[in-house]
DNA sequence: GCGCCACTTTGAGCCAGAGCAAACAGCCTC
DNA sequence: GAGGCTGTTTGCTCTGGCTCAAAGTGGCGC
């Protein structure tokens, strides 16, 4: 395989300020791979030999319970680390990572982890922040599930996705990830039926426009009111 | 204040294998304090100037939503770090920490964080694991809330507490933290009424014995079956 | 040892949202 | 462009668990 070009990672905040030589050294042990939509980068329970960085596309991180219930834990955006089981002292991946769209992933063997920590100043702190942020977000999800109605939770999930990957279109802001009603249900702990009903009502009230695996928000402010429980969708 | 004795922390895994001099140096910037039951070590939203280590007792970590709903995020046991906002790049505490019983806490100013990281080999990795573990646990909670019935969730919460702080008594295994029905409800996202009804039924069926702020598990195996949904309490 | 307060129990009614069922519509393949 | 998937919509029914209400009860302070 040809050496990877340092321009791939030169622009990422995690590697800011490094010399060309250092970038090359970091990339020496990395491999890049393309994943078609719906292909799995790694599967829950699989032995974790690598950690990964998303170069382009979107990854859906999914946890499956022993009974088969699935929960979408988060979406990974370009530039983010994922599958860093090695950092958390885990020997196998606690969730599966599925390409939500065609994606390009850079992967290092776990052995490269300590090297990166030493070589890249601030890498360690940045990783702490990444994991810390995810912990905060996950705890926020727990709070929501404990205290809010389904309608508010779904509204929040949609707004979060808009922030993460919203794309301006003539009709409004479109979520840039193919997103089924089922996905939305798995992010909010409800059923696709309930999500579908909510979106239908929101659409009738001019808040969103739905489509097959697609949601476009036409009235973000109105949806914020719904998320805060200060307005009925 | 008299210097703290190194025997306080010598036995903790995080500081294993350090020389007496190093232990003294680490303790030089720490302060210990005693917190009576129900006193707060720090409050949600407060500026995070210190990080903490629990020497003895139990701490309840509580998040409160803008609307006032409370969720018990976790219990901290002796020997664990908590309030490590500094590691996650947060400037204020995301939750409150309340002494569940009389407790002794060792606190360092944030400035000591990087020092500890450099001075103590393996400290960084241990902290990653701590945060990583909490992330896993929190995500497991999300899964439970999305896919399980209230009865199973409460049973799991009780079993988890038994593991963390169970004390053998003639009647069975008693949870070593004063635990109201309200606390249990806040850990599982339900109401104290429902928890009370469940415990009453479990008691009638010989699984547990309840008391004021107290729960004793008399049939752990039976409770596991309830937690797994393979038996009705 | 009395009274109070915080915690707990139990009852009754109700409703958000799950489960079940069935029809419907983009979109891709051949 | 016909056929078949996969994803979506919508109606109906049923129920777990929340809400409101009120009556216990253990234990601490005085």
Nearest to B58 by CA among B164, B134, B182: B164
Match domain B7-140 to its CATH number in 2.115.10.20, 3.90.1010.10, 3.30.390.10, 2.60.120.10.
Answer: 2.60.120.10
A143/chain B closest Cα distance in angstroms: 6
Residues of A with CB under 8 A from a CB of B: 63, 65, 67, 69, 71, 73, 87-90, 94-95, 117, 124-125, 127-129, 131-136, 138-139, 141-143, 145-147, 186, 189
B87:A147 CB<8 A: no
Q: Left, alpha or beta for B211 (phi > 0: left; psi -120 to 50: alpha)?
A: beta
Q: pLDDT tens for residues A70-98?
A: 999 999 999 999 999 999 999 999 999 99
CATH fold for the domain made of A148-227: Arc Repressor Mutant, subunit A (1.10.10)
Which residue(s) pair with A51 in the sheet?
A: A108
Distances (CA, A) of B227 to B155, B158, B160: 5, 9, 11
Q: Nearest Cβ partner of B65 from A135, A141, A143?
A: A143
Band of residue A5 on the pLDDT scale cut at 50, 70, 90: confident
| Number of other CB atoms surrounding residue B206 within 10 Å | 11
User: Rounded CA gap, B43 and B63, in Å?
Assistant: 9
Nearest protein residue to the C1' atom of C7, measured from CA = B212
Residue B8's H or E segment, with its range, is: helix B7-10
Please list the ranges in chain B whose pLDDT falls under 70.
1-3
Q: Are B71 and B186 in contact (CB under 8 A)?
A: yes
pTM: 0.94
Closest residue of B to A69, CA-based? B147
Are B132 and A67 inside 8 Å of each other by CB? Answer: no
Q: How far apart are CA B222 and CA B208, in angstroms?
A: 10
Q: Which residue has the tokens 């303790």?
A: B27
Closest residue to C6 measured CA to C1′: B212
Instruction: Please tell me the distance in Å from B86's CA to the nearest CA on chain A.
Output: 9
Q: Distance in angstroms, CA of A180 to C1' of C27? A: 15
- As given in the structure block, the two tokens for residue A60 are 């859906």
Rounded Cα gap, residues B52 and B80, in angstroms = 9
Q: How is residue A134 written in tokens?
A: 């995810």
CATH number of A7-139: 2.60.120.10
CA of A171 to C1' of D13 (A): 38
Is pLDDT of A141 > 80? yes
In chain A, which residues have their Cβ closer than 8 Å to the Cβ of B124? 117, 124
Residue A65 has pLDDT above 90, yes or no: yes
pLDDT for the residue numbered A1: 55
Contact list in A for residue B129 (CB cut-off 8 A) is 88-89
Neighbours of A121 (CB within 10 A): 12
Residues of A in contact with B51 (CB under 8 A): none
Minimal CA separation from B204 to chain A, in Å = 28
Tell me which residue in A65, A87, A132 faces B87 most closely, judged by beta carbons: A132
Residues in contact with B82: Cβ distance below 8 Å, sequence separation at least 6, in sequence order: B51, B52, B53, B54, B59, B61, B76, B97
Q: Where in chain A are the domains?
A: 7-139, 148-227
Of A67, A69, A143, the CB nearest to B63: A143
User: Protein A216 CA to nucleic acid D6 C1', in Å?
Assistant: 21
- Mean pLDDT of all residues in A118-126: 86
Nearest by CB: A141 against B127, B131, B142:
B142
Question: How many other C-beta atoms are found inside a 10 Å radius of the C-beta of residue B72?
Answer: 22
DSSP assignment of chain A: -PPPPTHHHHTSGGGTT--HHHHHHHHHT-EEEEE-TT-EEE-TTSB--EEEEEEESEEEEEEE-TT--EEEEEEEETT-EE--GGGGT-SB-SSEEEESSSEEEEEEETTHHHHHHHHSTTHHHHHHHHHHHHHHHHHHHHHHHHHS-HHHHHHHHHHHHHHHHEEEETTEEEESS---HHHHHHHHTS-HHHHHHHHHHHHHTTSEEEETTEEEES-HHHHHHHHTTSS--
d(CA B202, CA B222): 10
The 3-state DSSP class for residue B170 equals coil
- The dihedral sign for the CA sequence B199, B203, B207, B209: positive
**Pairing assessment for the beta strands B70-77 and B58-64 based on DSSP bridges:** antiparallel
Residue A39's alpha-carbon distances to A42, A54, A102, A182, B135, in angstroms, are: 9, 14, 9, 18, 25
Contact check, Cβ <8 Å, B88/A136? yes
The residue assigned the tokens 């802001």 is: A173
Give the residues across from B106 on adjacent strands.
Answer: B32, B53
Say whether pLDDT at A130 is over 80.
yes
| Residue A99 confidence (pLDDT) | 96
Q: Do A142 and B145 touch (CB under 8 A)?
A: yes
DSSP annotation of B87: G
Interval A167-224: pLDDT, tens: 999 989 999 999 999 999 999 999 999 999 999 999 999 999 999 999 999 999 999 9
The H-or-E segment that residue B38 falls in is none
C-alpha B65/C-alpha B37 separation (Å) is: 23
**How far apart are the CA of A135 and the nearest CA of chain B, in angstroms?**
5
Task: Provide the number of CB pairs (under 8 Å) joining chain A to chain B.
Answer: 107
């Amino acid at each position: 395989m040809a050496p990877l070009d340092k321009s791939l990672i030169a622009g990422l905040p995690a590697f800011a300020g490094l010399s060309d030589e250092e970038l090359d050294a970091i990339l020496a042990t990395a491999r890049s791979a393309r994943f078609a939509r719906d292909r799995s980068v790694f599967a829950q329970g699989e032995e974790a030999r690598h950690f990964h960085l998303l170069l382009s596309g979107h990854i859906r991180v999914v946890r499956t319970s022993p009974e088969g219930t699935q929960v979408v834990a988060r979406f990974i955006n370009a530039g983010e680390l994922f599958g860093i089981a090695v950092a958390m002292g885990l020997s196998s991946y606690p969730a599966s990572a599925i390409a939500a769209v065609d994606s390009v992933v850079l992967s290092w063997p776990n052995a490269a982890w300590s090297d990166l920590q030493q070589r890249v100043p601030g890498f360690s702190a940045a990783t702490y922040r990444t994991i810390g942020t995810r912990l905060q977000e996950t705890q926020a999800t727990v709070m929501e599930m404990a205290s809010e109605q389904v309608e508010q939770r779904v509204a929040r999930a949609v707004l979060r996705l808009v922030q993460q990957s919203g794309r301006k279109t003539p009709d409004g802001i479109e979520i840039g990830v193919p997103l089924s009603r089922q996905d939305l249900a798995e992010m909010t702990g409800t059923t696709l039926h309930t999500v579908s009903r909510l979106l239908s009502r929101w659409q009738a009230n001019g808040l969103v426009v739905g489509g097959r695996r697609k949601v476009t928000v036409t009235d973000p402010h109105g949806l914020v009111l719904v998320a805060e429980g200060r307005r009925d969708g």
